[in-house]
Every structure is written in structure tokens, then in C-alpha cells.
Amino acid sequence: MQLNSISIPTLSVASAKFKAYFELLKFRLSFLVAFSGGIGFVLASTGNIDWIKLTIFAIGGFLITGSSNIINQIIEKDLDKLMKRTLARPLPTNRLSITEATIFSFIIGAIGLYLLVTSTNVLAALLTIISSILYGFVYTPLKRKGPIAVFVGAIPGALPPMIGWVAASGNFSFAAFLIFGIQFVWQFPHFWAIAWVLDDDYKKAGFRLLPAGGAKDTNTAFLIMIYSLCLIPLGLLPYLFGISGINSAVITTLAGVLFLAQNIYLMKECSQKAAMQLMFGSFIYLPVVQIALVFDKI
């Protein structure tokens, strides 16, 4: 009985700690980044895909992304306390200390980097380090300076498919820059739709991400629409340059047109509802396009 009375609370504390560490990873975001890198890896693979190498690469990318997310949360701990959507995170609630988060970030980052270097190549690992630095130490503090943060954040946000390409091929190519470009341009309507929806919460922390003076009006909606419009011809380029087939070209074009329609609706309504629809549309657009690009490859 005494053993049980001791072990139950101990297990409860351990479970709470595990949950807190897991939350630090931002699993969904880290998974999507690793998935995006995997798309680039598959597109660059010639002949049969090395699934073991791809799996190790994805795990390494996931861990390094998780490490970057933790750095972001360490830097923004006090700001996260001010916003409704982030105040329950492990650091603001003191479920984990800064020291614990820092050690965890270092360990998983080091493991992830080791996996990339040993399973792929140094160039892919170097690009990953650059991406992590840009996200954690440049983009994060710039969020309080102005919408320039969106441009800077779009770079590490678009690097995963390029990193995947380099990991599989060992070199850069026009195709690597093309798949980077598609994801880079997508970042702007994606980021700004989120910033529109969460504007009130962001203002509490001093985040200034919306363009055109930070107003939720037709000027901001117009800028968002311009970037979304560019996605349609960009989505066709992989087919035109022989990276993907006609089936993926049709799917990416259709996805681009539907995404643009959501942007036009936002420009017409300038409402929270329209921005919310665009935000969810951006979440759907990218994986649909990425899966379409490899549709003719596998």
C-alpha cells in the first residue's frame, strides 16, 4: 500500500512533465515542416526512393524544428503570458523552467542534426541550421518591429522542401529553388490571414505583422490577393520544367484558383469570418499542392 501511495503521485508528475515537453515541440507544426521536407526529398529522388534515408531525414528535421520552436517559446515566454492563445503553454504556466526547456531544445536539436549529417549530407544540415537561426533569432524578435518579420519568417518557412531536395540529391538546382519559391510566396497569404484573425491577441504582445499600416481593410486584403494570384502560375512551373506531370498541374491550378477565390471574398467582405476561411484555406492549399507534386512521381 505504501509503495502504491508513493508511485501514483510520482507517475502523475512524470506524466505531466512528459506532456509539457511534448507541448513544447508544437507537434503539428514540426510534423508539417518535416512533411514538407519529405516532399522535396521525394521530388529529388531518382529511380527508387530510399525510404529508410527519407525516414531518418524526416525524424531529424522534426527534431530540429521542435528545437527551433522551443527557442521561440523561450524568447517569447513573457509575451506568451499576454495572449489568450499562448498563455497556457508550458513556460508561461511554469510547468517547465527555462533551464529545462533549453536543455531539451539542445538535446533534440543535436540529435536531429546528427541524424541529418550522418544520413544525408553536410549541405542539408547547414541549410537546416541557417533556417533554425533565422526562425529563432531573427524572425522571432522582428515580430514586434513590423511586417518585415513576415518576409524574414517566410525564408525558413520555405526552406524545408529545398532542404529535402538537397538531402536527396546533394546539390542545388533550379527545381530546388522553384519548390522553395512556391512555399515562400504561399507564406504571405498564410501569415497575414493568421495575423488578421489573431490581430487583437497579437496586439497585446506588441506583434505587428499585418501590412498596409496594420489595418484590416481592403488594402491589406489586396496585398494578400496579389501573392495568392502569383501562386497560380508558380504552381504550373514544376510541370513546365518537367519536375511533375500533367495531373499535378491540374490539381495545383485548381487549388490555386480556389485559394484565390477565398482571397477575393476577403477583399470584398474584409471580415473576421472571411479571414478565418482564408486561414483554413491556406492550411489546406499547401499540403494539397505538395501531394500533387509527387502524385506523378510515386
> Is the residue at 12 inside a domain?
no
Q: Could you list the pLDDT tens digit for every one of the 298 residues in the chain?
A: 444 544 566 778 888 999 999 999 999 999 999 999 999 999 998 778 899 999 999 999 999 999 999 999 999 999 999 999 999 999 999 999 999 999 999 999 999 999 999 999 999 999 999 999 999 999 999 999 999 999 999 999 999 999 999 999 999 899 999 999 999 999 999 999 999 999 999 999 999 999 988 899 999 999 999 999 999 999 999 999 888 889 999 999 999 999 999 999 999 999 999 999 999 999 999 999 999 998 876 6
Asked if 37 and 156 sit in the same domain, the reply is: yes
Kindly state the cell numbers that stand for 52: 529508410
Do 46 and 151 reside in the same domain of the chain?
yes
Specify whether 36 is located in the same domain as 133: yes
Question: Are 160 and 188 part of one and the same domain?
Answer: no
Report residue 178 as a C-alpha cell.
522553384
Same-domain pairing of 178 and 166: no
The reply to whether 5 falls in a domain is no
Domain match, 114 and 228 both: no
Q: In terms of residues, how long is the chain?
A: 298
Last residue of a domain, one of 121, 151, 171: 171
Same domain, 192 and 283: yes
Q: Which of 152, 171, 190 is at the close of a domain?
A: 171
Residues of the domain holding 296: 173-298
Provide the domain count of the chain. 2
> Are residues 143 and 198 both part of a single domain?
no
Asked if 145 and 38 sit in the same domain, the reply is: yes
